[in-house]
Every structure is written in C-alpha cells, then in structure tokens.
Amino acid sequence: MLNVQRLRVFKEVVTQGSFSRAADSLDYTQSAVSQAIATLEAEVGATLIDRDRRGLRLTAVGEALVGHADAILGRLGAAEEDVAAIIGLRGGRLRLASFPTAGATLMPRAIARFREDYPQIELSLAEGEPEEIVPRLRAGELDLALLFDFPGDGAGSLTEGLATTELFEDPMYVALPEGHRLAAKASLTLEDLRNEAWVQTSAPSPCARHVVRCCHRAGFEPIVSFESDDYQTVQGLVGAGVGVALIPELALSVPRDGIAIRTLSPSPPARRVVVATSPSPRGTPAAAEMRAILLEGTDVTPVTLSP
C-alpha cells in the first residue's frame, strides 16, 4: 500500500528537481526527504529516481508513478475541499422530507431561512406520510424529516432508533358546516358527533386510524361518508354541508369559508410533531442546522374559532 505522505514528498522532489529544495519547500530535513523516497522505493520494489552529476532523473517506474501521484493527490485535495465545505456549511446537499400539512406551513419558512443563511447548500424536499418517509430516512436516502405520531397509539416503533426532537403538539378541532345545529355550542364532545356523517382522510392514513380509535373509545363507530387525503378538500366537503371532520391545527392555517371550528372537550386528540434524523455519526452539520431552525421557528398560527 502506497503512503500518501511519501507520494507528496516524491511529487515535491520531482517538482523542485532537488532533494534539498524539496526539503525547504516541505519544511523537512534533507535526510527526512531522502528516507521518505528510499521507503517509497522499497514499497514499490524499484528505483524511482536516479541521481548523477547532472541532477535527478526519473526512471521509467518513476515516470509512471509521478503521473498517478498527480491524479491521486489531486483527487485527495478535491476530497478535502469538499469535506471542508460540507463541515463549514459552504457546500453539499440537504435532503428533506415532510408530511403534507407541515410541508405547506413549517417547511417553506424553514427552507427560506436556511437558504438565506447557507445559499451554497443544495436543498431538496420530498413529501409523504410518516410510514413512507421513515424507511427512506433509515436507508440514508434522506437527511432530515418532519414526522408526526399519536402518543399512545403504539406508533413509537415507527421512529425507534432515529434521533427525534419533539417540536410541538398539533391538536385536532371539530369542523362543522356553518349552519349545523351543533355550531351553536362553543365546545363539543365526540359523543355529540355519534350520528353525524364524517369526512376524513383515507382509511390507511395515521390521522384516519386515530380518529376511528378515538370514536371507538367514545363508544361508537363513525359513519365515514367521504374520504380525501387533502385537508382543503375535507374542509370543502364540510363547508358544502355533507359531513363533519376532525382536522389538525396545522391544516387549519387557511380555513375555508362556510365551516365552523369548535374545540373538543375534555381534551382534544393531538398528534406529536417531531423532527427526525438518522442517529448515525454520518449526519451532516447541515441537518443539525436545519433542526435548530425548525426548533426556533415552530410558532403555529392559532386557530380562530368561528362565531
């Protein structure tokens, strides 16, 4: 195995055309330079440099090796520059992912702040439900993700082994058609909604599963009439008067006309929003900085309850 430092000494001797000038350039003693070349020749198993009265002359093996040394040292220098840029947040990439409602509210502000501070880092954003994002995070396809879970629903195993930091709790509110008889009440219970037609996200989604579990705990099976994975569509269906829904606060940042928003008593269902990264030491400084930005900027606009 060739030693990189001895290759550097060899290259400097060739460039300077002299052992003594190479020693001065490298701040070595001349004997150290001579020893490095002798050791390198022993590793190669052939003479690299012939010395006579006219100076230094590369042997055929030396000519071949110096060409490779140029390429090796050039690639190594480029690698050192790239690593230094990534560590110094002057280059590299940061691959992000988020669930849709956070992707529409939290991520845009965080990305804008990050890009302002670190314009040379390439950013990308993927979107999906936590079950879709986590395997990609574990596989190293992503560097940082915004996820959610419902504590007590056995979802802890989804993020087990990942480095997670809780950002906030995202409570769910009741959305009713504006003229609904229950809209006259300031606060509702799940039991109040027992006989209502429901609009919710599609059955496999974590939010839909949690809503159904909450209804079961309240003693009834919700009558799900319509499903959509877009909360704007859910709001539109509620506003059209065809059902009621439980909607997270993040998804109510832009409430639609024609709906009334009410709190649930005694305590609303709430999902836990977390930022997650791989626990691997390969995690980048860019991911750590994005986590800090998200922790600083997680102010969610409070939901305004309609009269």
The per-residue pLDDT for 86 is 56
pLDDT of residue 159: 81
Q: In whole angstroms, give the CA distance from residue 237 to residue 231.
A: 10
Of 175, 177, 173, 192, nearest to 241 by C-alpha is: 177
What pLDDT does 49 receive?
84
d(CA 140, CA 92): 15
Give percent of the chain above pLDDT 90: 41
Q: Which is more confidently placed, 203 or 211?
A: 211
Structural domains present in the chain:
4-87 (1.10.10.10), 93-296 (3.40.190.290)
Q: What is the mean pLDDT of residues 68-74?
A: 74
Q: What is the mean pLDDT of residues 229-249?
A: 94
pLDDT confidence of residue 242: 95
The stretch 185-196 carries a mean pLDDT of 93
Contact 146/107 with Cβ under 8 angstroms? yes
Q: Where are the beta strands (DSSP E) in 253-297?
A: 259-264, 270-277
Summarised one tens digit per residue, pLDDT across range 258-288 is 999 999 988 888 999 999 997 765 567 888 8
Which tokens hold the place of 35? 């020893």
* Phi and psi, residue 188, nearest 5°: -125, 165
Report pLDDT for 28.
85
- Selection from 94, 89, 86 nearest residue 111 by Cα: 94
Q: Which pLDDT band holds residue 155 (cuts at 50, 70, 90)?
A: low
72, pLDDT greater than 60? yes
Give the model's pLDDT for residue 274.
93
What average pLDDT does the chain have?
Answer: 84
Q: What is the mean pLDDT of residues 176-190?
A: 93
Query: What are 105-142's pLDDT values in tens digits?
Result: 899 999 999 999 888 888 999 999 998 999 988 888 89
Percent of the chain with pLDDT over 70: 88
How many CB atoms are closer than 10 A to CB 241? 14
